[in-house]
Structure 1
């Protein structure tokens, strides 16, 4: 990598890091061009050069953190020998991620991210395909072995991730009736019952 390319990557990282800090402190309405350039110390021209617009920066930031979340979920599945263990590992990894990266989790679970996901779903899915399919690749042999109910993979993914995402959204919304430690203990067994072939 040339020194110029390296400087460009460092600049883009500064912009993304500043944008996440601002998003965590002020939400979407606070994520403006002037706020990001002021917080990052990066020029307006550099922001437009790297991301094209504040919307481009927002989308790059959301994709960056969605990629990290999916990567952590894939890593959590690695050591799991059984589907039941995998459900537990996936649930705990997801809930740990939102606790440790609250600002990023708010961004990934935001209504804007949902809108973009609905409008550009296929394109975004294809961009994350390797990470998304890690769950399907891990799950397929467990379905074939009769450990998991023989349901279409998208339905199994919904049964596994739906309750976890719902719990995460409720916690991120500020409801004080959600205890993530309790959810990490209770949800895996409840989810497992919904997909078990037994």
Structure 2
């Protein structure tokens, strides 16, 4: 793998600043200082802080989506697909806790920004690929009948709730220790 790009350097610096200082308290100057980028480079790649926030958010959710897509290429079966959705989420969060925390707290801000439509389109495509992977199993009757818009919430909702608390330091149990439990709970909730 090659060296990260200047744009990647800026995003990583922004994430570090946001994690340490908070999104609102972080300034463009802080991000510039942390990344070592010139102010011209920063504005060339992003234009302003809100676009940095949106780009960081989109890159984070894109990383999770890429992890899932790579996993879907390797798994087969209704149960394996459901467990991948949960296990992949846990794995991504464990590998990227600051990014996960950032995403949990900034969705509304990004949705309301000028890049909100880009986020909605990325989510539509991501959910479409998940639906495409699950469709044969749904059609074969491997999953319980339930409204489609409830399905993902039933699968991922419990682990997302626990993760939110874990990221905030409100749990005694490690997220890693609950991975298999949440995978099984998700499968038990949707299997026919």
> For the superposition of Structure 1 and Structure 2, which TM-score range results when normalised by the shorter chain?
0.7 to 0.9
**Structure-2 change in CA distance of 1:163 and 1:177 (3 Å):** same
- 1:52 deviation in Å? 1.5
- 1:146 deviation in Å? 0.5
Cα distance in 2 for partners of 1:11, 1:179 equals 35
Deviation string, structure 1 residues 10-47 (Cα, Å, up to 9, x no partner): 33222112112222333324431010111112122322
Cα distance in 2 for partners of 1:152, 1:122 equals 25
- 1:118 deviation in Å? 6.6
Q: Does 1:67 align with 2:70?
A: no
Partner of 1:84: 79
Deviation string, structure 1 residues 135-180 (Cα, Å, up to 9, x no partner): 1111111010010123332221111111121121111111132321
Are 2:53 and 2:110, in contact at CA under 8 Å, matched by a contact in 1? Answer: no
Give the root-mean-square deviation of aligned CA atoms: 2.2
* Length-normalised TM-score, structure 2: 0.86
Where relative contact order (Cα < 8 A, 6+ residues apart) is larger, the structure is 2
Partner of 1:95: 90
Give the structure with the higher percent helix: 1
Segments of structure 1 that go 5 or more residues without pairing to the other structure are 1-8
Point out 4+ residue stretches in structure 1 off by more than 3 angstroms. Answer: 117-123
- 1:121 deviation in Å? 6.1
Cα distance in 2 for partners of 1:132, 1:67 equals 12
* Length-normalised TM-score, structure 1: 0.84
Give the alignment partner of residue 136 of structure 2, picking from 135, 141, 146: 141
Deviation string, structure 1 residues 38-90 (Cα, Å, up to 9, x no partner): 11121223222221111111111110111101211222233222221222222
